[in-house]
Structure 1
Amino acid sequence: MLMAKGESKKKLSLVDLSLLGIGSMIGSGWLYAALNSSGYAGGNTGWAWTLGAIIVLLIGLVSAELSAAIPRAGGFVRYPNYSHGNIVGFVIGVSSLLAYTSTAGVEVEAVRQYALYWWPALGHSDGNPTTLGFAVQIGLLVIFFLLNYWSVSVFGRVNTIITTFKFIVPLITIVTLLLYFNSANLQVPPAPPGGAHGVFTSLTGAGIVFAYLGFRQAVDFASEAKNPQRNVPIAICIAIAVSFVIYLALQYAFMGAVPSDVLSAHGWAGLKAIFQSPYADLARSLGLMWLINLILVDAVISPAGTGNIYLASAARVLFALARNGHLWKSAGEVDEKSGVPRGALWLALILSIAWTLPSEFQVWGGLIGAVTSATVFTYMPGPVTLAAFRTHLPALHRPFRLPMAAILSPLSFVASTLLIYWSGWPVNEILIPIFIVAWVGYALLSRKSPTYKQDIACSWWLLAYYIAMLILSKIGTFDGLNLLSTPLDMIIVTVVALICYYWGAKTSIAKPIIVEE
């Protein structure tokens, strides 16, 4: 049956939604995060994976209540607009645009880096892409575009096949490397400062939270899901739980299998210089040629599959921005035959290609902190919106209701804020000014809007939040000026987060208007 123009087709089952989440998590993250986190946290890196899973689960449960009650394509962009008006909705849309379109670029970058084993002409000696390398990355994005352009059901079937394969290789890698496990490796210290600081830094800097961020796919595709009120919350929990077990096992299998002589000579931090493609180089040092080839095949397929998902998600976010009135109308329309927002998909392709072009963030490790932080800025307003809806829409049907929301909702906001702070000054000095300019720019240009006074009144908390986080990041202990000591810095960040949370909840729209799809 053809849907009316602007409507989405309900094609995705619970299995599809779960595999979308797991498939986007098991991408480039498993290929690099184990080595990077070892350099920051050493034997304590298991705590980083656990803490990351808890934080993302908190964020995910908040999203589960919102998306189950109000299933919307690109929900992370729609909900703040409903609860706090156009200025907040626009700025969160900007952060979503940066986060989603950049992730597809990160994944094709990972494909190219591992493909260097077979095709050295794709990169320079420092790992940066050559002209041919850029062409290959762009070509991959075009392929993802065509897969998504066809239809929602074709996209779902392709993802299911790829995700099934993506399970097999990590499991084989875990079992194989555990045969070489040396528990003494876990006692080797990481690079200073290590300890709790290393654990916190690895959450964003090593790609741990980035590796978990795929839970959001169930929210982004909620309007295309069968029975989203039931399936979206379940899919979020399944994706996070399965990925946590796989990642933790991969982390310890990797650390335990590193040859002791190599580790003693270089240390965890020094391994980055000799393990540019961590699992493939580790297999080489162990003489496991068959495992090298298997990993290299998966190293192309896994990130490619994830990039395919994120390009589709980016289109849904741009579609949501258009539905909020912040992009041209055609980007907010769904093709009647395919059920795909094709106008938004074209824009997603262009922006994703832009992220693969030369920049100071090129190469996987350089992009991760920025992408993770931009994504968390997207999730940050979710708890504030939940509190606002609990107050102003008490009768809203909530198939999933977050338990102990009075505690877990502000805790989720604090956790998101700490992740932003742990991303460090080099990342925040770039991202936060963009959001401040977006806030000020939209406020100045929308003065003739009939809802202007309401939009301004409901958005001051967000501007204050950005300014406070910019200052704290600058004077803090995570690549800042170290004017604050630990744990005083994190206590102050927590207090600021709670002030902004309750301020934002208090100044939300008294009568939210939930726009029907």
Structure 2
Amino acid sequence: MTGGTAPGSFARSLLRTKPVDRIVSEGGAGEGGELERSLGLLQLTSISVGATLGTGIFVVLGEAVPLAGPAVVLSFVLAAVTALFSALSYAELAGTIPVAGSSYSYAYATLGELVAWVCGWCLLLEYAVSVSAVSVGWGSYLNAFFDAAFGFTVPAALSSPPGEGGIVNVPAVAVVVLAAFLLLRGASESATANTVMVFLKIGVLLFFCAVAFTAFRSRNLAPFAPMGWAGLSAAGSRVFFSYIGFDAASTAGEEARNPRRDLPMAIVVSLVVVTAVYVLVALAAVGAMHWTEFDISGSEASLARVLDEATGRTWPSVVLSMGAVIAISSVVLTVMYGQTRILFAMSRDGLIPRVFQKVGPRRRVPVANTVIVALFISVLAAVIPLGRLVDATSIGTLFAFALVGVGVIVLRRTRPDLPRGFRVPLFPVTPLLGVGFCGYLMAGLGGVTWAVFALWTLAGLVAYFLYGHRRSRLAAGNRGRGSP
């Protein structure tokens, strides 16, 4: 059904769902070839940890502490609880529908094409903007490393966006280009490089804790919550950005060797690891430096500044900054990977142009897709300040996570017969709590963020009705794999 003139027919076309069996059977196939199944449990877990760990601690902590004071530690816990409910829902759907589209594909199977499109459109915002934000933070740590080790920095005109004293952020563009190069080498090669960077990242953060705890002062934790619950909650909305990425493993559903078993486990294990590290590092940071010294200016390299202030020496921040430069690269790499795979799935469904599903015959990766994504992200990273990027990412992610919780409930009702590698405990309470927490944190974001989100959604709806609705392959039935 493609719509027709009758209002009822048109409405039904917006709510058409794609059968799970069809989604799974199409897995891996793109125009010109198939994605390669080469990823095991360690690599999948590393993708999730790599996409998550570091984003908030290395980049956002300095902006969250002034909102909540030492209670930022509990803000990370609040965000973790929200992420946990969503992670459990992701784990069930990833083991049931192991494909590249992540929550976009899950929504297509449960809530209909229009909702799936909006979800996929929000994921584009989430992934592209989060990579841009992390790239900005990467540039800040690169400057911190250059300053501490060699006594010079990249000029502000070439390392800051317009409005913050610069013209273009060249380091942010450089790390995006580097990640694109690795992705074009192949999924297995990218995953191997990411695994190495993940272990390095964990080592760097443990090093930070070891040094910062030597300067720990209990008086720095008083008053613990100077801004009260409102501040703690506001910081929780901000640092939820730190948990974006655990769903990246679900985008590898068509390149995992044993997706029904490994995807759920990778998602849950990665969230546990990330939460433990975040809480430990946040506690060490606010214990070593009074919360009032965390200001917005220069917050992108906040951990390096904590070590400088706490120890009075330069070598700890040199080590941290060098490690952060390498470790944050894994976030850029894995989140870009996730975005290209979601675009791959949307293109295969006919909702966006076919160029995004073309697979290179040699490396078996979506080449044109990766190049286009890298160009788009580079522009965002070069000219947009960090704070706007963080909030825009959080609201798009929370919306997508809420849809995943609803999708679990719908699929349990409509297809209880499907094999599931993992089942959400305490159903339906757990997914409902996930939806509720996501809504609560969305409410804590500012009016400007909501305005950006509304405009982005409106632009997505226009794109869908002008292109996707008419070209949907689901609407074309079984007329073949070509676009209608």
Global fold match (TM > 0.5): yes
User: Aligned residue for 2:196?
Assistant: 161
Sequence identity (%): 22
- 1:181 Cα deviation (Å)? 0.9
Q: Please give the alpha-carbon distance, in whole angstroms, between the structure 2 residues aligned to 1:84 and 1:38.
A: 38
TM superposition shift of 1:172? 0.9
For 1:412, which of 427, 430, 434 is the aligned residue? 434
2:254 maps to 1:223: yes
Decide which of 350, 353, 360 is 1:335's aligned counterpart: 360
Deviations 1:172-197 (A, max 9, x none): 11011111111111113666xx1111
129, 136, 143: which one aligns with 1:116: 143
Residue in structure 1 matched with residue 15 of structure 2 by the alignment? none
Structure 2 residue corresponding to 1:349, chosen from 362, 374, 377: 374
Shift of 1:334: 2.7
Report the Cα distance in structure 2 between the residues aligned to 1:354 and 1:250, rounded to whole angstroms: 32
Letter in 2 for 1:164: F
- The structural deviation recorded for 1:306 is 0.9
Q: State the partner residue of 1:256.
A: 287
Task: Provide the residue aligned with 1:487 in structure 2.
Answer: none
2:66 equivalent to 1:35: no
Deviates more, 1:86-95 or 1:52-61: 86-95
1: CA distance, partners of 2:125 / 2:196: 28
Q: CA deviation at 1:256?
A: 1.0
1:255 Cα deviation from its structure 2 partner: 0.9
2:417 is equivalent to residue 382 of structure 1: no
Structure 1 residues 8 and 172, CA gap change in structure 2 (3 angstroms): same
Equivalent in the alignment of 1:297: 322
SS of the residue 2:410 aligns to: helix
Residue 144 to residue 448, structure 1, CA distance change in 2 (3 Å): closer
1:385-400 matches, within 5 Å, as 385-400=407-422
From 28, 40, 43, give the equivalent of 1:13. 40
- State the AA in 1 paired with 2:261: R
Question: Does the residue aligned with 1:387 lie in a helix, a strand or coil?
Answer: helix
1:314 and 2:347 are equivalent in the alignment: no
Offset, 1:249? 0.8
Q: Which amino acid aligns with 2:303?
A: Y
* TM-superposed deviation, 1:133: 5.2
In structure 2, distance between residues paired with 1:125 and 1:436: 34
Quote the Cα distance in structure 1 between the aligned partners of 2:124 and 2:70: 36
Query: CA 1:431 to 1:22, structure 2 compared with 1: closer, same or farther past 3 Å?
Result: same
Q: Is the 8 A contact 2:107 2:403 kept in 1?
A: yes
Of 231-240 and 32-41, deviating more is 32-41
Per-residue deviation, 1:232: 0.9
1:204 is matched with which residue: 237, 240, 262? 237
Q: How many angstroms apart in 2 are the aligned matches of 1:271 and 1:422?
A: 21
Q: How far is 1:270 from its partner?
A: 5.7
* Structure 1 residues 128 and 189: alpha-carbon distance in aligned structure 2, compared to 1, 3 A threshold: farther
SS of residue paired to 2:88 = helix
The 5-angstrom pairing of residues 274-293 of structure 1 reads: 277-285=301-309, 286-293=311-318
Q: Which residue of 2 aligns with 1:432?
A: 454
What is the TM-score of this pair, normalised by structure 2?
0.84
Please name the residue that 1:471 is paired with.
none
Aligned to 1:213: 244
Alpha-carbon shift at residue 424 of structure 1 (Å): 2.1
Shift of residue 403, structure 1, vs aligned partner? 2.0
Q: Which runs of 5+ in 2 are unaligned?
A: 1-27, 147-151, 476-480
Q: CA deviation at 1:350?
A: 2.0
Residue of 53, 67, 88 corresponding to 2:80? 53
Aligned equivalents of 1:421, 1:287: Cα separation in 2: 41
Change in CA separation of 1:147 and 1:254 when aligned onto 2, cut-off 3 Å: same
- Opposite residue 351 of structure 2, the aligned amino acid is H
- Shift in Å at residue 449 of structure 1? 7.6
* Alpha-carbon spacing, 1:34–1:226, altered in 2? closer, same or farther (3 Å): same
Task: Show structure 1 runs of 5+ residues with no match.
Answer: 455-514
Tell me which moved more, 196-205 or 62-71. Answer: 196-205
Number of residues of Structure 1 aligned to a counterpart in Structure 2: 439
8 A contact 1:121–1:132 mirrored in 2: no
Identify the residue that residue 135 of structure 1 maps to in structure 2. Answer: 170
Using the TM superposition, give the Cα deviation of residue 450 of structure 1 relative to its aligned residue in structure 2, in angstroms. Answer: 9.2
> 1:105 aligns to what?
132
The aligned amino acid for 2:364 is: G
